[in-house]
Homo-oligomer: A and B are copies of this chain.
């Protein structure tokens, strides 16, 4: 019994390994390509997981396991959300090609839902109006995912050398940070602005 269960788990894991490799390399997931990579048939894959959406949801669960769950800390809700956002961006930056696939389907992943339930609870107890909680969570989400993609950008996203006709951008690029520091500074600026936006919505 134990051996059988272990084999089954190994097999599920190997399917998810191969699916994530497909997505990381090509940006897409088809059951045919996945089966080819595993040296098996699509029907063997369906034996373990009911289809493409279930595989993507299992990958949400797997990548989600590398994201720190938001702390239940009502005295410092902004700190709890910041730590979650930093961890979320870092985890998704490791698999940017997975992002569009995750966005495109409803979340059923248990760890994912529990994390969002915690964020919703933090915002609610902080005093955010109930109708504004989903919009704020969406704004945080969009910023985290856009910022994860930004980590795939080249060191200098704009080619402005010797471009006297782009004076403002040229000056800004010369004066500003480049590479990873550019991305990290931007993420922290935007995160602070979003959290202050939440604070003002509570006071207002």
Q: Contact: A106 with B156, CB < 8 Å?
A: yes
Given the interface pairs A96-B100, A152-B103, A194-B193, the reply to whether A169 lies near B136 with Cβ below 8 Å is no
A166: CB under 8 A from chain B? yes
Digitize A85-122: 1 where CB-to-B-CB distance is under 8 Å, 0 elsewhere: 00000000000110110011111100001101110110
Q: Contact: B197 with A142, CB < 8 Å?
A: no
CB distance from A122 to the nearest CB of B (A): 8
Interface size class of A (residues with CB under 8 A): 35 or more
A142–B142 Cα gap in the complex (Å)? 8
Digitize A128-171: 1 where CB-to-B-CB distance is under 8 Å, 0 elsewhere: 00111111111101111111011011101111100100111111
Q: Contact: A149 with B103, CB < 8 Å?
A: yes
A142–B58 Cα gap in the complex (Å)? 26
A183: CB under 8 A from chain B? yes
Binding site for B on A (CB under 8 A): 26-28, 96-97, 99-100, 103-108, 113-114, 116-118, 120-121, 123-124, 130-139, 141-147, 149-150, 152-154, 156-160, 163, 166-173, 175-177, 182-183, 185-187, 189-190, 192-194, 196-198, 200-201
15 A–B contact pairs at CB < 8 A? A26-B27, A103-B150, A104-B154, A105-B154, A108-B159, A113-B160, A130-B175, A130-B176, A131-B175, A134-B175, A137-B172, A138-B157, A138-B186, A141-B150, A196-B200
Ranked nearest first, the 8 interchain pairs of A and B with the lowest CB-CB distance are A193-B197, A146-B146, A134-B176, A142-B146, A138-B186, A139-B190, A121-B168, A130-B175
